[in-house]
Chain A
Amino acid sequence: MIYLDNAATTLHKPKMVIDAVVKALESLGNCARGTYESSLQAGRTIYDAREKAASLFGCKQADHVVFTANSTEALNMAIQGLVVSGDHVISSDLEHNSVLRPLYLMEKRGVELSFVKADKDGKIEIVDFEKLIKENTKMIVCTHASNVTGNVVDIANVGAIARKHGLFFVVDASQTAGVIPIDMESMGIDVLCFTGHKSMMAPQGTGGLCVREGIVIRPLVVGGSGIRTYEKEHPANYPTALEAGTLNGHGIAGLDAGITFINQTGMANIYEKEIRLARRFYEGVKGIPEVVIYGDFSNWNRAPIISLNIGEYDSSEVSDELSERFEIATRPGAHCAPRMHEALKTVEQGVVRFSFSYFNTDEEVDVAIQAVRTLAEE
Protein backbone atom coordinates (compact mmCIF):
# COMPACT_ATOMS: atom_id res chain seq x y z
CA MET A 1 0.00 0.00 0.00
CA ILE A 2 1.10 3.55 -0.74
CA TYR A 3 0.19 5.57 2.31
CA LEU A 4 -0.72 9.17 1.48
CA ASP A 5 -2.88 10.04 4.47
CA ASN A 6 -0.16 11.44 6.66
CA ALA A 7 -2.23 14.49 7.59
CA ALA A 8 -4.50 12.04 9.44
CA THR A 9 -1.64 10.19 11.09
CA THR A 10 1.84 9.19 10.01
CA LEU A 11 1.76 5.45 9.46
CA HIS A 12 5.46 4.90 9.06
CA LYS A 13 7.19 5.68 12.34
CA PRO A 14 10.96 5.89 12.77
CA LYS A 15 12.53 2.73 14.14
CA MET A 16 13.75 4.64 17.17
CA VAL A 17 10.16 5.56 18.05
CA ILE A 18 9.02 1.95 17.86
CA ASP A 19 12.03 0.81 19.90
CA ALA A 20 11.41 3.48 22.53
CA VAL A 21 7.77 2.45 22.95
CA VAL A 22 8.66 -1.23 23.21
CA LYS A 23 11.37 -0.47 25.76
CA ALA A 24 8.94 1.70 27.72
CA LEU A 25 6.33 -1.05 27.72
CA GLU A 26 8.92 -3.42 29.09
CA SER A 27 10.33 -1.15 31.75
CA LEU A 28 8.36 1.93 32.79
CA GLY A 29 6.31 2.15 35.95
CA ASN A 30 3.88 4.94 36.76
CA CYS A 31 5.46 8.37 37.00
CA ALA A 32 5.12 10.06 40.39
CA ARG A 33 3.90 6.99 42.20
CA GLY A 34 7.11 6.06 43.98
CA THR A 35 10.86 6.48 44.03
CA TYR A 36 11.69 2.99 42.89
CA GLU A 37 13.59 2.71 39.65
CA SER A 38 10.81 1.95 37.16
CA SER A 39 8.64 4.83 38.45
CA LEU A 40 11.57 7.23 38.40
CA GLN A 41 12.46 6.08 34.90
CA ALA A 42 8.94 6.97 33.75
CA GLY A 43 9.35 10.39 35.34
CA ARG A 44 12.72 10.90 33.70
CA THR A 45 11.41 9.90 30.27
CA ILE A 46 8.41 12.21 30.56
CA TYR A 47 10.54 15.08 31.81
CA ASP A 48 12.97 14.59 28.95
CA ALA A 49 10.06 14.78 26.51
CA ARG A 50 8.89 18.00 28.20
CA GLU A 51 12.33 19.55 27.76
CA LYS A 52 12.59 18.46 24.15
CA ALA A 53 9.09 19.75 23.30
CA ALA A 54 9.81 23.04 25.07
CA SER A 55 12.98 23.43 23.04
CA LEU A 56 11.27 22.45 19.78
CA PHE A 57 8.49 25.03 20.21
CA GLY A 58 10.34 27.84 21.97
CA CYS A 59 8.43 27.34 25.23
CA LYS A 60 10.52 28.95 27.95
CA GLN A 61 9.75 26.44 30.71
CA ALA A 62 9.74 22.66 30.39
CA ASP A 63 7.20 22.40 33.22
CA HIS A 64 4.76 24.44 31.14
CA VAL A 65 4.60 21.61 28.58
CA VAL A 66 1.44 19.67 29.47
CA PHE A 67 0.78 16.27 27.94
CA THR A 68 -2.64 15.27 26.65
CA ALA A 69 -4.08 12.47 24.51
CA ASN A 70 -4.14 14.59 21.34
CA SER A 71 -4.51 18.15 20.10
CA THR A 72 -8.30 18.00 20.39
CA GLU A 73 -7.98 17.54 24.14
CA ALA A 74 -5.36 20.28 24.31
CA LEU A 75 -7.56 22.69 22.34
CA ASN A 76 -10.56 21.91 24.53
CA MET A 77 -8.47 22.69 27.59
CA ALA A 78 -7.28 25.99 26.17
CA ILE A 79 -10.61 27.14 24.75
CA GLN A 80 -12.82 26.03 27.63
CA GLY A 81 -10.26 27.06 30.19
CA LEU A 82 -9.50 30.61 29.12
CA VAL A 83 -12.79 32.31 28.31
CA VAL A 84 -16.10 32.82 30.13
CA SER A 85 -19.60 34.04 29.33
CA GLY A 86 -19.52 37.55 27.93
CA ASP A 87 -16.11 37.15 26.29
CA HIS A 88 -15.63 37.36 22.53
CA VAL A 89 -13.36 34.99 20.59
CA ILE A 90 -12.04 35.34 17.04
CA SER A 91 -11.21 32.32 14.92
CA SER A 92 -11.17 31.49 11.21
CA ASP A 93 -12.93 29.47 8.53
CA LEU A 94 -9.84 27.29 8.24
CA GLU A 95 -10.42 25.53 11.53
CA HIS A 96 -10.90 21.86 12.24
CA ASN A 97 -13.78 20.75 14.45
CA SER A 98 -11.23 20.34 17.23
CA VAL A 99 -11.31 24.13 17.41
CA LEU A 100 -14.84 24.77 16.14
CA ARG A 101 -16.78 22.44 18.40
CA PRO A 102 -15.20 23.67 21.64
CA LEU A 103 -15.94 27.19 20.40
CA TYR A 104 -19.57 26.33 19.61
CA LEU A 105 -19.84 24.73 23.05
CA MET A 106 -18.61 27.96 24.61
CA GLU A 107 -21.06 29.91 22.45
CA LYS A 108 -23.87 28.03 24.19
CA ARG A 109 -22.33 29.14 27.47
CA GLY A 110 -22.49 32.80 26.48
CA VAL A 111 -19.25 33.36 24.59
CA GLU A 112 -19.49 35.44 21.38
CA LEU A 113 -17.72 34.16 18.25
CA SER A 114 -16.47 35.79 15.05
CA PHE A 115 -14.73 34.09 12.15
CA VAL A 116 -12.25 35.46 9.62
CA LYS A 117 -13.68 34.48 6.26
CA ALA A 118 -11.82 32.32 3.76
CA ASP A 119 -12.13 33.01 0.04
CA LYS A 120 -12.80 30.42 -2.69
CA ASP A 121 -9.17 29.31 -2.52
CA GLY A 122 -9.37 28.90 1.23
CA LYS A 123 -7.23 31.98 1.80
CA ILE A 124 -7.69 34.40 4.68
CA GLU A 125 -6.43 37.96 5.19
CA ILE A 126 -4.51 38.35 8.44
CA VAL A 127 -5.69 41.96 8.84
CA ASP A 128 -9.23 40.64 9.17
CA PHE A 129 -8.40 39.32 12.65
CA GLU A 130 -7.77 42.88 13.80
CA LYS A 131 -10.91 44.18 12.10
CA LEU A 132 -13.05 41.77 14.15
CA ILE A 133 -11.68 42.84 17.54
CA LYS A 134 -14.30 44.29 19.90
CA GLU A 135 -14.24 45.65 23.41
CA ASN A 136 -14.95 42.23 24.93
CA THR A 137 -12.57 40.24 22.69
CA LYS A 138 -10.47 37.97 24.88
CA MET A 139 -8.85 35.44 22.59
CA ILE A 140 -7.79 34.57 19.04
CA VAL A 141 -7.57 30.88 18.22
CA CYS A 142 -6.44 29.70 14.81
CA THR A 143 -4.74 26.90 13.00
CA HIS A 144 -1.15 27.10 11.80
CA ALA A 145 -2.05 25.30 8.57
CA SER A 146 -5.27 24.15 6.97
CA ASN A 147 -5.76 20.40 7.11
CA VAL A 148 -7.67 20.64 3.80
CA THR A 149 -5.54 22.85 1.56
CA GLY A 150 -2.25 22.77 3.45
CA ASN A 151 -1.91 26.55 3.29
CA VAL A 152 0.07 27.96 6.20
CA VAL A 153 -1.28 30.87 8.21
CA ASP A 154 1.14 33.66 9.07
CA ILE A 155 0.74 33.11 12.81
CA ALA A 156 3.56 35.49 13.71
CA ASN A 157 1.45 38.34 12.35
CA VAL A 158 -1.70 37.04 14.04
CA GLY A 159 0.32 36.80 17.25
CA ALA A 160 1.47 40.39 16.85
CA ILE A 161 -2.17 41.51 16.54
CA ALA A 162 -3.11 39.50 19.64
CA ARG A 163 -0.22 40.93 21.62
CA LYS A 164 -0.97 44.50 20.50
CA HIS A 165 -4.53 44.19 21.82
CA GLY A 166 -3.74 42.12 24.93
CA LEU A 167 -5.58 39.00 23.72
CA PHE A 168 -4.82 35.35 24.40
CA PHE A 169 -3.42 33.71 21.28
CA VAL A 170 -4.03 29.96 20.97
CA VAL A 171 -2.59 28.05 18.01
CA ASP A 172 -3.65 24.66 16.65
CA ALA A 173 -0.39 23.19 15.34
CA SER A 174 -1.81 19.77 14.46
CA GLN A 175 -0.57 19.93 10.87
CA THR A 176 2.72 21.70 11.49
CA ALA A 177 4.25 20.61 14.80
CA GLY A 178 7.43 18.73 13.98
CA VAL A 179 7.73 19.81 10.35
CA ILE A 180 7.34 23.60 10.21
CA PRO A 181 9.27 25.77 12.69
CA ILE A 182 7.29 27.23 15.58
CA ASP A 183 8.67 29.66 18.14
CA MET A 184 6.17 30.67 20.81
CA GLU A 185 8.19 33.70 21.85
CA SER A 186 8.76 35.38 18.50
CA MET A 187 5.31 34.36 17.21
CA GLY A 188 3.52 35.71 20.28
CA ILE A 189 1.81 32.42 21.06
CA ASP A 190 0.28 32.01 24.52
CA VAL A 191 -0.89 28.41 24.14
CA LEU A 192 0.40 26.05 21.49
CA CYS A 193 -1.64 22.87 21.00
CA PHE A 194 0.04 19.95 19.26
CA THR A 195 -0.51 16.32 18.46
CA GLY A 196 2.19 13.66 18.59
CA HIS A 197 1.01 11.17 16.00
CA LYS A 198 1.32 13.28 12.84
CA SER A 199 4.55 15.08 11.95
CA MET A 200 6.08 14.42 15.38
CA MET A 201 6.01 10.75 14.32
CA ALA A 202 4.94 9.54 17.74
CA PRO A 203 2.22 7.05 18.71
CA GLN A 204 -1.45 7.98 18.71
CA GLY A 205 -2.62 9.06 22.15
CA THR A 206 0.11 11.66 22.52
CA GLY A 207 -0.06 15.41 22.28
CA GLY A 208 -0.11 18.41 24.50
CA LEU A 209 -0.09 22.11 25.03
CA CYS A 210 2.72 24.51 25.75
CA VAL A 211 1.60 27.37 27.97
CA ARG A 212 3.27 30.75 28.32
CA GLU A 213 4.27 31.68 31.87
CA GLY A 214 1.51 33.51 33.70
CA ILE A 215 -1.37 32.09 31.64
CA VAL A 216 -3.84 30.32 33.92
CA ILE A 217 -6.04 27.69 32.26
CA ARG A 218 -8.94 26.23 34.22
CA PRO A 219 -8.62 22.42 34.16
CA LEU A 220 -11.13 20.29 32.27
CA VAL A 221 -10.36 17.22 34.34
CA VAL A 222 -9.21 16.93 37.95
CA GLY A 223 -8.22 13.92 40.01
CA GLY A 224 -5.16 11.95 40.99
CA SER A 225 -1.90 13.84 40.68
CA GLY A 226 0.54 12.00 42.93
CA ILE A 227 0.90 15.20 44.94
CA ARG A 228 -1.05 17.16 47.61
CA THR A 229 -3.24 14.15 48.28
CA TYR A 230 -5.16 15.65 51.20
CA GLU A 231 -6.17 18.85 49.44
CA LYS A 232 -9.66 18.95 47.97
CA GLU A 233 -8.61 21.07 45.01
CA HIS A 234 -6.45 19.84 42.18
CA PRO A 235 -2.93 21.40 42.34
CA ALA A 236 -2.51 24.66 40.45
CA ASN A 237 1.14 24.23 39.49
CA TYR A 238 2.01 23.34 35.90
CA PRO A 239 2.19 20.76 34.48
CA THR A 240 0.18 18.94 37.17
CA ALA A 241 -2.60 21.54 36.99
CA LEU A 242 -3.71 20.12 33.63
CA GLU A 243 -2.55 16.52 34.00
CA ALA A 244 -4.99 14.55 36.15
CA GLY A 245 -4.54 10.78 36.25
CA THR A 246 -1.82 8.53 34.92
CA LEU A 247 0.04 9.96 31.95
CA ASN A 248 0.58 7.96 28.77
CA GLY A 249 4.18 7.27 29.70
CA HIS A 250 4.63 4.60 27.04
CA GLY A 251 3.36 6.89 24.30
CA ILE A 252 5.33 9.85 25.62
CA ALA A 253 8.48 7.71 25.41
CA GLY A 254 7.66 7.43 21.70
CA LEU A 255 7.06 11.17 21.48
CA ASP A 256 10.42 11.77 23.12
CA ALA A 257 12.05 9.56 20.48
CA GLY A 258 10.05 11.23 17.71
CA ILE A 259 11.48 14.61 18.66
CA THR A 260 14.95 13.06 18.81
CA PHE A 261 14.42 11.76 15.28
CA ILE A 262 13.34 15.22 14.09
CA ASN A 263 16.34 16.85 15.76
CA GLN A 264 18.77 14.31 14.35
CA THR A 265 17.31 14.36 10.84
CA GLY A 266 16.77 18.11 10.81
CA MET A 267 13.31 19.65 10.57
CA ALA A 268 14.40 21.58 7.49
CA ASN A 269 15.48 18.36 5.76
CA ILE A 270 12.19 16.67 6.64
CA TYR A 271 10.19 19.63 5.37
CA GLU A 272 12.25 19.94 2.21
CA LYS A 273 11.62 16.32 1.29
CA GLU A 274 7.92 16.38 2.13
CA ILE A 275 7.23 19.59 0.24
CA ARG A 276 9.26 18.34 -2.73
CA LEU A 277 7.05 15.24 -2.86
CA ALA A 278 3.90 17.36 -2.56
CA ARG A 279 5.13 19.64 -5.32
CA ARG A 280 6.00 16.68 -7.54
CA PHE A 281 2.46 15.39 -7.08
CA TYR A 282 0.96 18.83 -7.74
CA GLU A 283 2.98 19.31 -10.93
CA GLY A 284 2.00 15.80 -12.05
CA VAL A 285 -1.76 16.19 -11.61
CA LYS A 286 -2.43 19.87 -12.24
CA GLY A 287 -2.64 19.55 -16.02
CA ILE A 288 -4.87 16.48 -16.07
CA PRO A 289 -8.27 17.34 -17.59
CA GLU A 290 -11.14 17.25 -15.06
CA VAL A 291 -8.78 17.50 -12.09
CA VAL A 292 -9.53 20.44 -9.78
CA ILE A 293 -6.99 21.28 -7.09
CA TYR A 294 -7.97 23.30 -4.03
CA GLY A 295 -6.03 25.94 -2.16
CA ASP A 296 -3.73 28.87 -2.73
CA PHE A 297 -0.71 27.92 -4.84
CA SER A 298 0.66 31.42 -5.27
CA ASN A 299 3.45 30.31 -2.92
CA TRP A 300 4.75 27.07 -1.39
CA ASN A 301 4.48 28.14 2.20
CA ARG A 302 2.35 25.13 2.96
CA ALA A 303 2.03 21.83 4.74
CA PRO A 304 2.58 18.83 2.41
CA ILE A 305 -1.08 18.43 1.50
CA ILE A 306 -2.68 18.45 -1.95
CA SER A 307 -6.47 18.13 -2.17
CA LEU A 308 -8.32 17.58 -5.41
CA ASN A 309 -11.43 16.34 -7.13
CA ILE A 310 -11.94 14.58 -10.43
CA GLY A 311 -14.84 16.06 -12.38
CA GLU A 312 -18.07 15.69 -10.49
CA TYR A 313 -17.15 12.35 -8.92
CA ASP A 314 -17.89 11.95 -5.23
CA SER A 315 -14.58 12.23 -3.38
CA SER A 316 -15.47 9.07 -1.46
CA GLU A 317 -15.80 7.12 -4.70
CA VAL A 318 -12.45 8.37 -5.95
CA SER A 319 -10.71 7.62 -2.66
CA ASP A 320 -12.23 4.15 -2.57
CA GLU A 321 -11.06 3.40 -6.12
CA LEU A 322 -7.60 4.66 -5.26
CA SER A 323 -7.58 2.26 -2.36
CA GLU A 324 -9.16 -0.78 -4.00
CA ARG A 325 -7.59 -0.60 -7.45
CA PHE A 326 -4.29 1.12 -6.81
CA GLU A 327 -3.67 0.45 -3.10
CA ILE A 328 -3.25 4.14 -2.40
CA ALA A 329 -4.51 5.46 0.94
CA THR A 330 -6.09 8.94 0.84
CA ARG A 331 -8.74 10.76 2.82
CA PRO A 332 -12.01 11.83 1.15
CA GLY A 333 -14.93 13.85 2.49
CA ALA A 334 -15.02 16.86 4.74
CA HIS A 335 -11.94 16.33 6.92
CA CYS A 336 -13.75 17.70 10.00
CA ALA A 337 -13.40 21.20 8.52
CA PRO A 338 -16.96 22.31 7.67
CA ARG A 339 -16.35 26.03 7.28
CA MET A 340 -13.42 25.43 4.95
CA HIS A 341 -15.52 23.22 2.69
CA GLU A 342 -18.23 25.86 2.62
CA ALA A 343 -15.61 28.37 1.44
CA LEU A 344 -14.27 25.96 -1.19
CA LYS A 345 -17.83 25.07 -2.29
CA THR A 346 -17.11 21.39 -1.75
CA VAL A 347 -19.70 20.58 0.91
CA GLU A 348 -21.49 18.09 -1.36
CA GLN A 349 -18.53 16.56 -3.15
CA GLY A 350 -15.88 16.70 -0.46
CA VAL A 351 -12.27 16.53 -1.65
CA VAL A 352 -9.67 13.79 -1.92
CA ARG A 353 -6.69 14.69 0.24
CA PHE A 354 -3.19 13.42 -0.53
CA SER A 355 -0.71 14.13 2.28
CA PHE A 356 2.95 13.24 2.24
CA SER A 357 5.53 12.18 4.79
CA TYR A 358 9.28 11.95 5.05
CA PHE A 359 9.00 8.22 4.40
CA ASN A 360 7.21 8.51 1.05
CA THR A 361 9.18 8.24 -2.17
CA ASP A 362 9.23 9.78 -5.64
CA GLU A 363 8.14 6.42 -7.04
CA GLU A 364 5.07 6.34 -4.80
CA VAL A 365 4.15 9.85 -5.87
CA ASP A 366 4.48 8.87 -9.53
CA VAL A 367 2.19 5.88 -9.04
CA ALA A 368 -0.36 8.20 -7.40
CA ILE A 369 -0.13 10.68 -10.29
CA GLN A 370 -0.72 7.88 -12.79
CA ALA A 371 -3.66 6.57 -10.77
CA VAL A 372 -5.32 10.00 -10.77
CA ARG A 373 -4.68 10.26 -14.52
CA THR A 374 -6.21 6.84 -15.14
CA LEU A 375 -9.35 7.66 -13.15
CA ALA A 376 -9.69 11.06 -14.83
CA GLU A 377 -9.44 9.51 -18.28
CA GLU A 378 -12.03 6.82 -17.61
Chain B
Amino acid sequence: MREKTLKYLMTFHTTSGAIAMEKYCKEASAPGRLIPVPRQITAGCGMAWCSLPEKKGEAQSVAREHKLDVDGEYELMI
Protein backbone atom coordinates (compact mmCIF):
# COMPACT_ATOMS: atom_id res chain seq x y z
CA MET B 1 0.00 0.00 0.00
CA ARG B 2 1.05 3.60 -0.51
CA GLU B 3 2.74 5.51 2.28
CA LYS B 4 0.26 7.72 4.13
CA THR B 5 0.74 11.49 3.91
CA LEU B 6 -1.25 14.44 5.20
CA LYS B 7 -4.06 15.39 2.82
CA TYR B 8 -6.78 18.04 2.74
CA LEU B 9 -10.26 16.66 2.05
CA MET B 10 -13.49 18.43 1.22
CA THR B 11 -16.74 16.43 1.27
CA PHE B 12 -20.14 17.19 -0.25
CA HIS B 13 -23.79 16.46 0.43
CA THR B 14 -24.34 15.11 -3.08
CA THR B 15 -22.43 13.48 -5.91
CA SER B 16 -23.50 16.39 -8.07
CA GLY B 17 -21.63 18.73 -5.73
CA ALA B 18 -18.48 16.60 -5.85
CA ILE B 19 -18.52 16.42 -9.63
CA ALA B 20 -19.09 20.18 -9.83
CA MET B 21 -16.07 20.66 -7.56
CA GLU B 22 -13.91 18.63 -9.91
CA LYS B 23 -15.12 20.60 -12.91
CA TYR B 24 -14.57 24.03 -11.40
CA CYS B 25 -11.22 23.12 -9.82
CA LYS B 26 -10.05 21.98 -13.23
CA GLU B 27 -11.19 25.25 -14.76
CA ALA B 28 -9.39 27.19 -12.03
CA SER B 29 -6.28 24.95 -12.25
CA ALA B 30 -6.73 24.14 -8.56
CA PRO B 31 -4.87 20.87 -7.94
CA GLY B 32 -6.51 17.75 -6.57
CA ARG B 33 -8.77 14.87 -7.51
CA LEU B 34 -11.87 13.03 -6.39
CA ILE B 35 -11.30 10.00 -4.16
CA PRO B 36 -13.60 7.61 -2.28
CA VAL B 37 -14.39 9.04 1.17
CA PRO B 38 -12.03 7.44 3.74
CA ARG B 39 -13.62 5.54 6.61
CA GLN B 40 -12.54 8.15 9.17
CA ILE B 41 -15.10 10.57 7.71
CA THR B 42 -18.87 10.34 7.89
CA ALA B 43 -19.80 12.18 4.74
CA GLY B 44 -22.89 12.71 2.68
CA CYS B 45 -21.42 11.86 -0.66
CA GLY B 46 -19.19 8.88 -1.37
CA MET B 47 -16.59 11.08 -3.03
CA ALA B 48 -14.27 13.66 -1.55
CA TRP B 49 -12.06 16.29 -3.13
CA CYS B 50 -8.51 15.48 -2.13
CA SER B 51 -5.71 18.00 -2.28
CA LEU B 52 -2.58 18.97 -0.39
CA PRO B 53 -3.11 20.92 2.86
CA GLU B 54 -1.24 23.93 1.45
CA LYS B 55 -3.71 24.04 -1.46
CA LYS B 56 -6.88 24.10 0.61
CA GLY B 57 -7.33 27.85 0.10
CA GLU B 58 -7.73 27.29 -3.63
CA ALA B 59 -10.30 24.54 -3.07
CA GLN B 60 -12.24 26.66 -0.59
CA SER B 61 -12.23 29.55 -3.00
CA VAL B 62 -13.65 27.41 -5.81
CA ALA B 63 -16.35 25.94 -3.57
CA ARG B 64 -17.31 29.38 -2.30
CA GLU B 65 -17.40 30.96 -5.74
CA HIS B 66 -19.70 28.29 -7.14
CA LYS B 67 -21.80 27.91 -3.98
CA LEU B 68 -21.15 24.17 -3.82
CA ASP B 69 -22.92 22.01 -1.22
CA VAL B 70 -19.88 21.42 1.01
CA ASP B 71 -20.47 18.92 3.82
CA GLY B 72 -17.14 19.15 5.66
CA GLU B 73 -13.40 19.78 5.52
CA TYR B 74 -10.69 17.58 6.98
CA GLU B 75 -6.95 17.05 7.19
CA LEU B 76 -6.11 13.38 7.40
CA MET B 77 -3.19 10.99 7.05
CA ILE B 78 -4.28 8.85 4.16
Contact = CB atoms under 8 A, between A and B. Distances in A.
A237 B36 contact: no
B69 to A, nearest CB: 6
B19 A235 contact: no
B25 interface: no
A153 to B, nearest CB: 31
Contacts, number: 64
B40 to A, nearest CB: 15
A252 to B, nearest CB: 12
B50 to A, nearest CB: 9
Interface residues of A, number: 23
Chain B interface secondary structure, helix, strand, loop or mixed? mixed
Interface stretch (A39-47, A128-136, A316-324): A39-47
Interface in A225-242: 226-229, 235, 237-240
Interface in A32-57: 32-35, 40, 43-44, 46-47, 50
B64 interface: no
Interface string B28-72: 000001111000000111110000000000000000000101000
A43 B45 CA distance: 13
A227 to B, nearest CB: 5
A44 B13 contact: no
Contacts of B36: 34-35
B14 A47 contact: no
B14 A227 contact: yes
Nearest to A227: B45
Contacts of B13: 227, 235, 237, 240
Contacts of B33: 35
Among A62, A63, A227, A239, the most chain B Cβ lie within 10 Å of the Cβ of A227
Nearest to A48: B23
A46 B19 CA distance: 9
Contacts of A35: 33-36, 47
Given A31-B15, A47-B19, A227-B14, A235 B44 contact: yes
A226 B17 contact: no
B36 to A, nearest CB: 5
A167 B59 CA distance: 39
Contacts of B43: 227
Interface of B: 13-20, 22-23, 33-36, 43-47, 67, 69
3 shortest interchain CB distances as A-B pairs:
A32-B15, A43-B19, A47-B19
